[in-house]
């Protein structure tokens, strides 16, 4: 069934017609809904339809209609949309930032109105983000990472490929106590950068504070003070106070995930730093893990030819190297616990890979017809099956390596 909302959208801003559009969508999909009620059908991958009368850009939000379709169950909402991405913006297949007119729980994800549709272009397996996020959450109850669902996306009735719908990290996602004046969320704060360029320091929000708005309450000094503490406090002051400032067990799980995935790009960026309230230390929420599991962020193959050097993060370096630090023991014990719980094992991660493969394997060829695997953006022309094999081979090599690494850490 083909939907076309061009004429309706062109009349007035979409929010003025949201109720009419919702009813119109429901009528158009009525036959599909009836069919689903009367017969048992194969569960297809969820579909997301985007209808926008204006060109979608990286600069401005545009009005659109979002239709979420899951085996005959339809949700349609007005929304705003724009492209998103830094390095990935150079690829022809773009990611989207979406803000719905009201909160929705699409495809079983938590109820929210802010969403990311990740193009996942550079990762031909479509799994590296999701595997890393799922693992981090499994490792500990206080470890935050977006929940994700695979979906086929159509834009103005044109197929645009397979996407990963994921939660957006914000104050609500981080369970921030908005009544607490010491709660915050920031993206990739420069707290682990050795030398911050002057042109960055001259900007008004160089730590990328997300919550609260920096114009309402500015935490720049808080981040600068933490950076000064990490880089320049004495060893005794550092050890006595680091656990008060940041959750060491959350840090240890983050450290292990960095080692496991070999995500060197995540050492000083690709994370959020947040504080729930005055009584809780800061924690790390992870973000952007395509630089992992055998590929670097630009798609270069790296089957551990280049290994992550966690000493490039000064906080991790000091935690590991200062005499009388108990962090190495904490880190080693966490590795042993995660191995014994079968959260980190070759078999358990292979099961996660196979589960994702079962979900998307019937839709992957269509995506690569639209976005070929031999594009100049890639280092090679590997197909999907070859890329999944890289994931499995990487884990087969990496976990035994780390077993030996942790055996050599003195208690």
Query: How confident is the model at residue 34, as a pLDDT?
Result: 34
Residue count of the chain: 411
User: CA–CA separation, 373 vs 378, rounded Å?
Assistant: 7
Q: Please provide the average confidence, as pLDDT, over all residues in the chain.
A: 91
Residue 278 neighbours by CB distance under 10 Å: 10
User: CA–CA separation, 154 vs 172, rounded Å?
Assistant: 29
Query: How confident is the model at residue 86, as a pLDDT?
Result: 80
Residue 182 has pLDDT above 80, yes or no: yes
Query: How confident is the model at residue 13, as a pLDDT?
Result: 43
Residue 410 has pLDDT above 80, yes or no: no
Residue 178 has pLDDT above 50, yes or no: yes
Q: Tens digit of pLDDT for each residue in 224-251?
A: 999 999 999 999 999 999 999 999 999 9
Q: Tens digit of pLDDT for each residue in 25-84?
A: 444 444 434 333 333 344 799 999 999 999 999 999 999 999 999 988 999 999 999 999
Return the minimum-mean-pLDDT range out of 85-89, 110-114, 260-264, 391-395: 85-89
Residue 387 has pLDDT above 50, yes or no: yes
Helices and strands per DSSP (H, E), number in the chain: 13, 11
Q: Tens digit of pLDDT for each residue in 310-336?
A: 999 999 999 999 999 999 999 999 999
Query: How confident is the model at residue 149, as a pLDDT?
Result: 98
Domains of the chain: 18-167 (no CATH), 184-407 (1.10.1070)
Query: How confident is the model at residue 121, as a pLDDT?
Result: 96
User: CA–CA separation, 267 vs 307, rounded Å?
Assistant: 12
Query: How confident is the model at residue 8, as a pLDDT?
Result: 37
Nearest to 14 by CA among 52, 56, 68, 55: 52
Concatenating the DSSP letter of every residue in 298-322 gives TS-B-SSSS---GGGSHHHHHHHHS
Residue 4 has pLDDT above 60, yes or no: no
Query: How confident is the model at residue 22, as a pLDDT?
Result: 45
User: Is-contact 164 149, C-beta < 8 A?
Assistant: yes
pLDDT band at 411 (very low <50, low <70, confident <90, very high): low
Query: What does the pLDDT average to over 117-127?
Result: 97
């Amino acid at each position: 069934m083909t939907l076309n909302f061009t004429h309706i959208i062109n009349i007035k801003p979409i929010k003025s017609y949201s109720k009419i559009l919702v009813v119109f969508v429901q009528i158009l999909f009525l036959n599909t809904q009836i069919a689903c009620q009367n017969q048992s059908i194969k569960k297809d991958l969820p579909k997301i339809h985007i209808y926008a009368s204006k060109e979608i850009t990286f600069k401005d939000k545009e009005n659109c209609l979002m239709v979420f379709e899951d085996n005959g169950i339809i949700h349609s909402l007005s929304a705003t949309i724009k492209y998103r991405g830094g390095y990935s913006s150079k690829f022809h297949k773009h990611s989207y930032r979406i803000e719905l007119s009201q909160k929705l729980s699409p495809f079983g994800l938590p109820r929210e109105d802010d969403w990311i549709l990740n193009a996942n272009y550079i990762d031909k397996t479509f799994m590296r983000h999701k595997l890393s996020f799922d693992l981090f959450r499994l490792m500990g109850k206080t470890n935050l990472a977006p929940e994700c669902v695979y979906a086929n996306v159509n834009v103005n009735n044109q197929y645009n490929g397979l996407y990963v719908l994921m939660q957006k990290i914000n104050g609500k996602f981080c369970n921030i106590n908005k009544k607490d004046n010491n709660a915050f969320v920031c993206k990739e704060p420069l707290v682990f950068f050795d030398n911050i360029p002057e042109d960055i320091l001259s900007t008004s929000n160089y730590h990328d504070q997300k919550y609260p708005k920096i114009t309402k309450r500015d935490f720049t000094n808080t981040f600068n003070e933490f950076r000064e503490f990490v880089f320049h406090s004495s060893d005794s002051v550092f050890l006595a106070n680091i656990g008060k400032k940041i959750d060491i067990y959350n840090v240890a799980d983050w450290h292990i995930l960095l080692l496991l995935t070999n995500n060197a790009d995540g050492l000083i960026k690709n994370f959020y730093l947040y504080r729930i309230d005055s009584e809780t230390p800061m924690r790390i929420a992870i973000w952007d893990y395509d630089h992992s599991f055998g590929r670097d962020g630009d798609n270069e193959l790296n089957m551990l030819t280049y290994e992550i050097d966690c000493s490039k993060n000064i906080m991790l370096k000091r935690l590991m190297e200062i005499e009388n630090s108990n962090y190495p023991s904490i880190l080693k014990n966490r590795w042993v616990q995660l191995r014994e719980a079968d959260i980190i094992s070759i078999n358990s991660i292979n099961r996660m890979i196979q589960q994702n493969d079962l979900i998307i394997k019937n839709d992957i060829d269509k995506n690569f017809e639209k976005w070929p695997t031999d594009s100049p953006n890639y280092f090679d022309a590997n197909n999907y099956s070859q890329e999944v094999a890289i994931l499995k081979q990487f884990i087969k090599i990496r976990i035994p390596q780390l077993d030996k690494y942790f055996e050599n850490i003195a208690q």
